[in-house]
Structure 1
Amino acid sequence: MAISMRPSQSLRLWQQVTLAEVRAASHDLTMRQMAILLTVYLDPPPHTVRALAAKLDVTKPVITRALDTMGAMGLVSRHRDERDRRNVLVRRTVEGALFVERFGDLVIEKAAELPL
Structure 2
Amino acid sequence: MPVNLRPAQALYLWHKANLAMVLDEEPDLSQRQWAVLLSIYLEPPPHTVRGLARKLDVTKPVITRALDTMGGWGLVSRRRDPEDRRNVVIQRTVEGSLFLERAGDVIARMAEEVPR
- Offset of 1:55 from its aligned partner? 0.6
Map 1:92-111 → 2, pairs under 5 A: 92-111=92-111
Distance 1:66 1:115 in 2: 34
Q: How many correspondences in the alignment?
A: 116
Aligned to 1:70: 70
Counterpart of 2:22, as a letter, is: V
Correspondence for 2:32: 32
Deviation at 1:2, TM superposition (A): 1.7
Which runs of structure 2 are paired with 1:1-116 in the superposition (5 Å)? 1-116=1-116
Structure 1 residue 92, shift from structure 2 partner:
0.3
Distance 1:30 1:20 in 2: 15
Moved over 2 A (4+): none
Percentage of identical aligned residues? 61
Secondary structure class of the residue paired with 1:79: strand
Where in structure 1 are there 5+ consecutive unaligned residues? none
Q: Report the alpha carbon displacement of residue 105 of structure 1 after superposing the two structures with TM.
A: 1.1
Give the alignment's Cα RMSD to 1 decimal.
Answer: 0.6
Q: Deviations over 1:8-48 (max 9, x none)?
A: 00000000011001100111110000110011000011000
Distance (whole Å) between structure 2 residues aligned to residue 43 and residue 108 of structure 1: 20
Task: State the distance in 1 between where 2:97 and 2:115 align.
Answer: 30
